[in-house]
Structures are given as structure tokens and as C-alpha cells.
Amino acid sequence: MNIKILGAGCPKCRRLEKNVRTALENLNIEADVEKVTDINDIMKYEVMMTPGLVIDGAVKSTGKIFTVYELEKLLTKLQ
């Protein structure tokens, strides 16, 4: 599984990344987590609001900070 956090490094982006890593750890799921901060790379996903969450190439959210619980539900469905 490949997960990308899209954003310039704002507090919301960092919080989403932390929640993603916590959910992965709680579920014992191995995944590559990548922070994408370059605006040109973010625009390739047509994301206008950050943070953005991309899992295996599909945009799952924009402008939202998923809770750890919400991420656990989402990641469980995607396994």
C-alpha cells in the first residue's frame, strides 16, 4: 500500500500524517507513507485544498483531517 499526504507541511498536514501512521501501526499494516510538498506534484492530483490523502493513487480526501478511527475503518476496507 502506498499512502501520500499532500500539503506544504502545515499543522493540519502534519496531524494527518501522524494519524495515518498511528492507524497503520494500530492495524499492523505495512505501507509506504510519503509526504508530497511540491505544489506541482500536488496539482497532478487536482487537489485544491490540503491536506490531501492519496492511497494507491486514488484521492481519498481533500481539506480534511481524518481521525485515527476513521483511517482505521478506511484502511481496513482497502485491505
The catalytic residue positions are 10, 13
For residue 37, the one-letter residue type is T
Please state, as a whole number, how many other Cβ atoms lie within 10 Å of the Cβ of residue 20. Answer: 23
Q: Are 49 and 37 within 8 A, CB to CB? A: no
Grid coordinates in use for 53? 490523502
